[in-house]
Amino acid sequence: MPARPLNVAIVGGGIGGLAAANAMLRRGHRVTVFERADALGEVGAGVFIFPNSLRQMERLGLGPELARLGGKVGPASRYCRMDGTVVGPIPTTDSSGWNGMYGMHRADLLNTLAAALPREAIRTGHRCTALEQDGDTARLRFENGRTAEADLVVAADGIHSALQRYVVEPMPPEYSGSRAYRGLVPRDRLPGWREEAHQVWMGDGKHFMVFPVRGGQLLNYVGFVPTSHQTVESWSAVGDRDELAASFAGWDAPVTALLSKVESCFWWGLYDRRPLPSWTRGRLALLGDAAHPMLPHLGQGANQAIEDGVALAVLLEGCDPAEVPGVLPRYEALRRVRTDVIQAEARRNGLRYDSRSGSLEQRDREIANAARFRRQLYDYDIEAAALAFREGRDVSAGLEVALT
């Protein structure tokens, strides 16, 4: 007799939570997403979708919409020094040559994921305040007085997860010493801008990047600068455009030209956390930033959250509710061997971009050598790895770090 579908409660209606919900539905589970805000929404910031997550999104049927809404990123992409001296190309394909790389407006990505779910699967205005569980079920309590029961609870509620404390003792996020200014500029305000390009300029203690979003109509920029005091970890804190422009005065002409078009910007502090001792307890599993918050210097935060959701869905397919507590540690065992490496490499890559990893010659050499690492990163197929893991076969993280 086949197992009944699992009743899955996902706490957090961001990219990771909605991607997990889509993956769970594809594998036959029943899903409800509980979002604390009164409406789903993302501020105007960009995010990368790389081949390692795009192949999963295409299997969910979302490929055409992402191609329509994304900003294609291709072979014109490059690393430069702050004066414009070209260091080398930015890899934009996997090892097969497949260019599955888009810059996405976060709102476009979120809306695409939400639209693929049944309307009744998303419940807004549900701030989770407590979790209880026993051998048979998990129970969630919400600030609005409502409750919910589930066979599995997925905490996809970010770096400040309300549910993380039910797995491990609270560990404060670690401040990187940098803040990021970000915003959007219409592409047509910058005639001659490189088409379909992700561009990174690297300077002394800071770096600047630009990539297209929304079908190439907008350019998403991010300026990373050091700070002497902590900046709030917020996507919506209003930044000082004059301070941003002054931080990159004298840089390569395309950087200063773009900054001259900026009318307003936002900033956020950059935080991550060292690997947690555990991601799961009983019927509760952490996912995405709740499990492994990363600095943005590999652009993999959203991509790894998408991989998490696919892995969970595959490992739980066909499981009886009683089996859930035994499966969740296997999800952690499969995922953290990869995410631990990516977390650490994101930190190191930030030092490279800020020219703090040694001499400029060493930095440039490491940037060139990183092409192999990136292709390994993009080659990985989490669905195939999870299916192999279910069968008891050993799987790797798909990564080797040797850039010097």
Where are the chain's structural domains? 7-71+102-172+275-353+371-390
The pLDDT of residue 174 is 85
* pLDDT (tens digit per residue) in 303-323: 999 999 999 999 999 999 999
CATH architecture of 7-71+102-172+275-353+371-390: 3-Layer(bba) Sandwich (3.50)
List the chain pLDDT tens, one digit each, 404 residues.
457 899 999 999 999 999 999 999 999 999 999 999 988 876 668 999 999 999 999 999 999 999 999 999 999 999 999 999 999 999 999 999 999 999 999 999 999 999 999 999 999 999 999 999 988 999 999 999 999 999 999 999 999 999 999 999 988 888 888 889 999 999 999 999 999 999 999 998 999 999 999 999 999 999 999 886 665 555 456 668 888 999 999 999 999 999 999 988 888 888 888 899 999 999 999 999 999 999 999 999 999 999 999 999 999 999 999 999 999 999 999 999 899 999 999 999 999 999 887 788 888 888 888 889 999 999 999 999 999 999 988 888 778 765 55
The pLDDT of residue 230 is 60
C-beta separation of 163 from 308 below 8 A: no
The pLDDT of residue 359 is 86
The pLDDT of residue 271 is 87
Residue 113 sits at φ, ψ, to 5 deg, of -65, -40
Question: Two tokens at 187?
Answer: 């592409």
CA distances from 9 to 24, 136, 168 (A): 11, 15, 20
The pLDDT of residue 179 is 87
Q: Could you please report the per-residue DSSP string of 160-205? A: T-SSGGGTS-----EEEEEEEEEEEEEGGGSTTPPTT--EEEE-SS
> 3-class DSSP state for residue 399?
coil
Strand pairing class (266-272; 237-238) = antiparallel
CA distances from 167 to 144, 148, 281, 295, 332 (A): 24, 19, 5, 22, 12
> 3-class DSSP state for residue 218?
strand
Question: Two tokens at 62?
Answer: 């979302």
The pLDDT of residue 402 is 53
